[in-house]
Structure formats: C-alpha cells, structure tokens
C-alpha cells in the first residue's frame, strides 16, 4: 500500500469511501491508495465503530496514510468529488442527500434497496450524478446483455430461473446481481421484472406459470458471488454463468465509475453507461 497518497495533486478526484471497514470498503481503500488517478479524501464508518478516530491505513493493519476514519458524514462528504458507497440501504439514502449537496458523484454498490430508497435516490440525482449497479464487474455487465439477447430469442416455452450463491454474511436475497439479470431477461421479453417475477417458492406452489422468472438463493461459507441464468426448454437447457472469485472486480468497477462520472451532469447512470455497453 502506498503511503504517498495525500501529497495532493488537484487533478485527482478526492474519493470518500463509506463503510471503510467492510469487505468492500477495505478493498476500495486499498485500490484508491494504489491508484495514481485518484486520491483518498475520506473514510466513513457508522457511529460507535471501533475504527472511528484511527488512521485508516493503520486500522487495516498497514502504514498510516493520513486519512482518519470518521463518523461525521456531513463534514467528510463536503470535501469529496466522489463517494463510493457499499453499505446498507438506509445509510446509502442518507449519503445520497449529502453527496448531492456536495455536487459530487455518488457510486452506489449497496444492494437490497427497495422502492422508497430508490425514490430518494432519484430525487438526489436531480442535483448530481448517481451511478448504481447491483454488480460493478465487467463480466456480470456483459452477461446482462447476453441474458437480454437470449431471452429475446427464446419463447415463453423456455422457463427462466436465476440461481445465485453468496457468503454466509450476506443479508439480502435475491442478490442485486440476480435482480439485474432477471430485469435483463424480462426486458428481453418486452416486460419488466415486476411483471414477471415469481414469488419465493415454499410448500405447495402449484405448477410453474409460463413466462415467469424465478429466483433461488444459496448462502454459505465465503462464496464471493456466483450466478446462473438458466433457460430451461423441452429436452435442453442453456445456462449463462458468472463466477466471482475476487471482490477486487467490484471495487475496480466502482473506482472506474467514480472517475468516469467526474464530467457527467446530474442523473442516474449504471455500469452499462460507464462501460459503454448501452
Ligand atoms: N454492486 C456490487 O458490485 C457489490 C459487490 C459487493 C457487495 N455489494 C453490496 O455492498 C454492500 C456491502 O457489502 P459488504 O460485503 O462490504 O458488507 P459489510 O457488512 O462487510 O460492510 C458494510 C460496511 O458498511 C458500514 N456501515 C453501515 N452503516 C453505515 C453508516 N451509516 N455509515 C458508515 N458506514 C456504515 C458497516 O459498518 C460495514 O463496515 C451490500 O449491500 C452488498 O450486497 C455490492
Ligand atoms: O457480497 C455481496 O454482498 C455481493 N453483493 C452483490 C449482489 O448482491 O449481487 C454483488 C456480489 C457480491
């Protein structure tokens, strides 16, 4: 990890990492410190967290980097050109308001957001760019396009199921990625996921309703993230699969988005925009 980070160069956007001690937060702090195109401008954690007041480099077990972990989101975000946020829905909504006030780019990886959270984000995006994706990796964003195409090519007699597996600490299901893939499949069929989504199955569910999209979630161990989109027809199946083996793929995507967003106007964007896949 570089210790030359905060010898400032104005051209580099100052990036704040929220949830700095989390699985994604630590990954992001390291990546930003090692990237010459970005500067770590702040590290936030929730009030009461044991890292508050400590240098983030030291808290991570390395050398000091000159950035103290804070719970003062108002003061820290006011200094940011971008905020990279992998936390929890309620925290993300609060950060969105502060990031919009700072006219900074808000990169959101947090999943489990529900409609009221999304409504807040839409309002915040009237003032500054918000880039949000349930999965920031190049591979999943390519798979999203493939899923849309395959769903468009196959008729309703092909059943669509999304199966995902994640580590035992994951709190939301289906995963943000599974929902992205399901949405792409629904778009391929000229519909929305809200129209086609099957409720979670348990008990006597009855036969599958043609044209619907189902989800199954496995939770265990340290699985980083695995997704299958299954198209099941009569006598054959197509399986589109993404396997994540390193969280760095999400962090790299998020940092790329933060840099990409620097010259963008207010509005809602996703990784398809960042990667030029639209
Ligand atoms: N979009 C993607 O590519 C992608 C990839 C990985 C994870 N995620 C999502 O990111 C989120 C975080 O995942 P994780 O595995 O890093 O979880 P984690 O539990 O390891 O980390 C979350 C961190 O956020 C902190 N936090 C919570 N509330 C806060 C607040 N109000 N202020 C500051 N910090 C706060 C927690 O203390 C914790 O350190 C989840 O929603 C997960 O699904 C998305
Ligand atoms: O570890 C997680 O949590 C992940 N969340 C995202 C999701 O919900 O799809 C991306 C994969 C890892």
Arithmetic mean of pLDDT over the chain: 96
**Strands ordered across the beta sheet of 82-85:** 69-70, 39-44, 14-18, 82-85, 105-108, 129-132, 267-269
- Binding site annotation covers 111? yes
Domain boundaries, the chain: 14-132+248-274, 138-244
CATH number, domain 138-244: 3.30.360.10
State whether ipTM is beyond 0.85.
yes
DSSP labels, 49-71: -TTTTSBHHHHTTS---S-BEES
The domain 14-132+248-274 is classified under which CATH number: 3.40.50.880, 3.40.50.720, 3.90.420.10, 3.30.230.70?
Answer: 3.40.50.720
Cα separation of 39 and 267, whole Å? 24
What average pLDDT does the segment 118-146 reach?
Answer: 98
pLDDT digits (tens, 9 = 90+) for 179-228: 999 999 999 999 999 999 999 999 999 999 999 999 999 999 999 999 99
Is 170 part of the annotated catalytic residue set? yes
The one catalytic residue in 170, 227, 242, 264 is: 170
**Cβ of residue 134 lying under 6 Å from some atom of ligand 2:** yes
Q: How far is the CA of 109 from the centre of ligand 1 (A)?
A: 8
Cα separation of 105 and 84, whole Å? 8
Alpha helices in 106-170 (DSSP H): 115-124, 138-153
Q: Model-level pTM?
A: 0.96
Is 264 part of the annotated catalytic residue set? no
Nearest CA to ligand 2 atom 12: 225
Nearest CA to ligand 1 atom 30: 46
Residues 20, 58 contacting (CB under 8 angstroms): no
Q: How far is the CA of 28 from the centre of ligand 1 (A)?
A: 11
- Which residues does ligand 1 sit against, CB inside 6 Å? 18-19, 21-25, 44-46, 49, 86-88, 91, 109-112, 133-136, 176, 250
Residues 196, 189 contacting (CB under 8 angstroms): yes
């Amino acid at each position: 990890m570089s210790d030359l980070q905060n010898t400032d160069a104005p051209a580099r956007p100052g990036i704040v990492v929220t949830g700095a001690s989390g699985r994604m937060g630590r990954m992001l702090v390291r990546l930003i410190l090692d990237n010459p195109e970005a500067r770590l401008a702040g590290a936030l954690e929730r009030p009461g967290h044991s890292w508050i007041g400590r240098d983030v480099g030291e808290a991570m077990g390395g050398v000091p980097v000159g950035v103290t972990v804070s719970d003062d989101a108002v003061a820290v975000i006011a200094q940011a050109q971008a905020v990279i946020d992998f936390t929890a829905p309620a925290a993300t909504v609060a950060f969105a308001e502060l990031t919009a006030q700072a006219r900074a780019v808000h990169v959101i990886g947090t999943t489990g957001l529900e409609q009221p959270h999304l409504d807040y984000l839409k309002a915040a995006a009237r003032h500054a760019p918000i880039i949000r994706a349930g999965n920031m990796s190049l591979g999943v964003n390519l798979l999203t396009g493939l899923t849309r195409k395959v769903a468009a090519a196959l008729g309703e007699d092909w059943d669509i199921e999304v199966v995902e597996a994640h580590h035992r600490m994951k709190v939301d299901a289906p995963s943000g990625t599974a929902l992205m893939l399901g949405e792409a499949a629904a778009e391929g069929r000229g519909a929305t996921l809200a129209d086609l989504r099957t409720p979670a199955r348990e008990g006597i569910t009855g036969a599958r309703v043609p044209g619907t999209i189902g989800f199954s979630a496995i939770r265990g161990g340290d699985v980083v993230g695995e997704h299958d989109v299954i198209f099941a027809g009569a006598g054959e199946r197509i399986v589109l699969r993404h396997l994540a083996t390193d969280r760095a793929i999400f962090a790299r995507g998020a940092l790329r988005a933060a840099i990409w967003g620097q010259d963008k106007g207010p509005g809602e964007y996703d990784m398809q925009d960042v990667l030029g896949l639209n």
